[in-house]
Structure 1
């Protein structure tokens, strides 16, 4: 059964713990060309979009869920937003839990709204990452399922 509104509310298990390291924070900030000193020093924090590193692990669970029938090559990341309770800090050990919040089918595309909750392994909420993905249906001659 392909993804549908019946999948709204599906919640995936928390990802394996991810330790936010100084090296990864510096590497990420460098890729952004962001030289802000808050990413170094005594109590370094990660750039706000660093949460994507952890959220991506949660999205993988959804993309590889055989029941949903998603084909990653036909998925476009349409938008995203962050809601922060506190910054990610070097040394934090975090997990991410994904919930499918919305599924709408319009024509030959599915619009999938997701919520990823990033928390420390002690249960402290850090941030929420909301994203919308657009999954296009294959043309009839492409459908090999």
Structure 2
């Protein structure tokens, strides 16, 4: 079954707020080998003008995941998770994520296309803080491999 073309343009409900914790930022930083003091030391981050430690750019995927889970769990999408591979990822920031942020994500399916027997689903996840201000947009391209 191919991906449902009516999925294009669908906006999923906002995710539950995610409170960014200092230790989560530090753990993620260690996992991706981010060694800047801004990622680990609250005092260094404050001296640089931030409220707390700064998350590495790819940390946004932690918040994006909740929106992608809604997409992948929706029953009418035609998406077969067993055939999905991650094709592309990018982030467009308004400001960095810092410990203490409470972030909510809204995922929109912006494109569905077929290429070489595969379906490509582009999903943009807009991530905002508790005041509603945009922080980052995470864009993923998911590839659903063909059956042959």
> Do these two structures clear the TM 0.5 threshold for a shared fold by scoring above it?
yes
Distance in 2 between the 1:11 and 1:71 partners?
Answer: 20
- Counterpart for residue 130 of structure 1: 139
Contact 1:4–1:105 (8 Å) recurs in 2: no
- Counterpart for residue 48 of structure 2: none
Contact 1:105–1:111 (8 Å) recurs in 2: yes
- Counterpart for residue 109 of structure 1: 118
SS class of match (1:66): coil
Contact 2:105–2:127 (8 Å) recurs in 1: yes
Can you give the 5+ residue segments of structure 2 that lack an aligned partner in the other structure? Answer: 44-51
Contact 2:13–2:106 (8 Å) recurs in 1: yes
- Counterpart for residue 61 of structure 2: 52
- What whole-Å deviation, never above 9, does each CA across 1:13-72 have from its counterpart, x for those lacking one? 011110000010000001012221001223211111000000011101111111012121
TM-score (norm 1): 0.90
Distance in 1 between the 2:60 and 2:42 partners?
Answer: 20
SS class of match (2:95): coil
Contact 1:58–1:116 (8 Å) recurs in 2: yes
- Counterpart for residue 119 of structure 1: 128
- Counterpart for residue 42 of structure 2: 41
- Counterpart for residue 31 of structure 2: 31
Of residues 67, 74, 85, the one that matches 1:76 is 85
Of residues 50, 61, 69, the one that matches 2:70 is 61
Distance in 1 between the 2:8 and 2:78 partners?
Answer: 15
Contact 2:4–2:78 (8 Å) recurs in 1: no
Contact 1:82–1:127 (8 Å) recurs in 2: yes
Matched residue pairs, number? Answer: 139
> Aligned-residue CA RMSD in angstroms?
1.4
